[in-house]
Structure 1
């Protein structure tokens, strides 16, 4: 069963506090300088607060011991929460795209460039440093929550970078009289570009989490690593056949193996079976996931199918 570490809880809290800071700054500055791009950045950060809070609540709930109600653990809660988060992010991006297109056809927006440049520089650096901090710890924990948070900050980094690039371009164009008419269009055009590009990230996250909710097989490399261990065991103990089922939910790898034994097999007693189980456990220890192992032996093939 998944265990939520203190590190994960601490990082999720950091994400909440950081998102609150960026959201307030973005919304206020966006309204002051009349920039949809900055306002979108602030609204995105505000929604990130709610989403990070949702992750934190889910993480705490998953960490509570409740074996009577959840005999197989609460691992599936994590991908469900991640699907909700990515769906909201996707809808936010689509809404921003629609508003930007309307603004574009209405003649664009006049923006106070100087203030916008300072905000976008601070936002880009701040979001990128937060993303790097999360990225550093995500690989150590194999946490879906932290991966989703990391992706959120990556999106915010590129949105802020897009703001920065847009206003650098706008500041150059406003000093060129023959091109100054383009300046009002810079803000909505950058929103459209960023929105179209980053639609794929939440879609990718939703697809990956759906695979876990539906208990589908994990990525090919991970599945093959597990299967190779079982093939070696099958050969070592002269087992007639093996049936392997592998799925991944959150940080838990679910592995069910049914070995078919015959008269030539070296498995004769329950002690022999336990020996094989221990060997499999040791051989799988290098895979950086919690494992839920179910290993069965039968002399009748029909019970393995």
Structure 2
């Protein structure tokens, strides 16, 4: 495995590390969960497997987006089928990932209530404590590392992934407290409680976990539905108004959307019919000025600028 493959300063490298660690922990968790007869540990491992699949999808989408913004993409076969890039896939994956996390936690909550009603479940606390300690160390450290690294990278995928690791760490900590308590009260007068520990702690953790991905799901749905981001719209309007006042256009129309990390902007400037004809090079220079004010160096900016004397073309 090359250093380039696991470059921890890039989005791709960190996501690969996350996938590898998730799969390893999930396998260990399933083995120890079966030995300990703990439904909480087994569920946590399956939860991890689901997360690994979604992180893999996130990695694929991130690579496609990177390629689509490169110069080589024009000659790529995918360009023939995705001429507008892959930004639209990012909120789809983020939304699906967040909804799966919420769904998994909701299932755990319902399943735990069912287990309580059936009298609980006896588990081997020694094995449960060992795998839980391993999980906490790995999950907490990786979650904090990704969160710190993402301050520079600023990726929504890494943001959700760090949240996922911290959620897993909080779940594991809850398990650890419960398992240690169960181990300590074995062969005591209150040992009748032990069958209920596994489902009870899963209920508490599920209630804590369910709301956490809601913000990501909300943002993903906004991107999918092309809800206009107010801050971006204000910025675009300000730039367009300055151009109108500077050059004497009649008016303008701006259409703005955020799709994942991509920003899609369409600007229509209404040109007075009394204006003398201009060379195409002059219009291009004006487009360059507008693009510069909107963020020319942003590879995720999709900008369309139209000059017309017909107001209907802008509607």
TM over 0.5: yes
State how far apart, in whole Å, the 1-side matches of 2:233 and 2:92 are: 22
Quote the residue 2:305 is aligned against. Answer: 295
State how far apart, in whole Å, the 1-side matches of 2:164 and 2:226 are: 25
Q: 1:233 to 1:266 in 2, by over 3 A?
A: farther
| Deviation sequence 1:27-81 (CA, Å, 0-9, x none) | 1222222222222211111222222233334444553632221111122222223
Q: Does 1:262 align with 2:265?
A: no
Residue 177 of structure 1: CA displacement?
A: 4.7
| Deviation sequence 1:138-195 (CA, Å, 0-9, x none) | 34344343333233223222221221233344456x1795644333323212211222
Q: After alignment, is 243-252 or 108-117 more displaced? A: 108-117
Quote the residue 2:236 is aligned against. Answer: 226
Pick from 169, 183, 190: which aligns with 2:194?
Answer: 183
When normalised by structure 2's length, the TM-score is: 0.81
Quote the residue 1:283 is aligned against. Answer: 293
Q: After alignment, is 38-47 or 267-276 more displaced? A: 267-276
When normalised by structure 1's length, the TM-score is: 0.84
Residue 256 of structure 1: CA displacement?
A: 0.7
Gaps (5+ residues) in structure 2? Answer: 1-6, 68-72
Q: Does 1:55 align with 2:58?
A: yes
State how far apart, in whole Å, the 1-side matches of 2:131 and 2:137 are: 10
Quote the residue 1:29 is aligned against. Answer: 32
SS of the equivalent of 1:152 reads helix
Quote the residue 1:86 is aligned against. Answer: 98
SS of the equivalent of 1:111 reads coil
Q: Does 1:158 align with 2:170?
A: yes
Asked whether the equivalents of residues 129 and 176 of structure 2 are also in contact (C-alpha less than 8 Å), the reply is yes
Quote the residue 2:83 is aligned against. Answer: 71
State how far apart, in whole Å, the 1-side matches of 2:100 and 2:245 are: 49
Gaps (5+ residues) in structure 1? Answer: 1-5
State how far apart, in whole Å, the 1-side matches of 2:294 and 2:200 are: 51
Asked whether the equivalents of residues 273 and 309 of structure 2 are also in contact (C-alpha less than 8 Å), the reply is no
Asked whether the equivalents of residues 142 and 289 of structure 1 are also in contact (C-alpha less than 8 Å), the reply is no
SS of the equivalent of 1:201 reads coil
Residue 294 of structure 1: CA displacement?
A: 0.7
Quote the residue 1:131 is aligned against. Answer: 143
State how far apart, in whole Å, the 2-side matches of 1:51 and 1:120 are: 23
Number of equivalences: 298
Q: 1:183 to 1:211 in 2, by over 3 A?
A: same
Asked whether the equivalents of residues 186 and 194 of structure 2 are also in contact (C-alpha less than 8 Å), the reply is no
SS of the equivalent of 1:255 reads strand
Residue 292 of structure 1: CA displacement?
A: 0.8
Residue 101 of structure 1: CA displacement?
A: 0.9
State how far apart, in whole Å, the 2-side matches of 1:78 and 1:113 are: 41
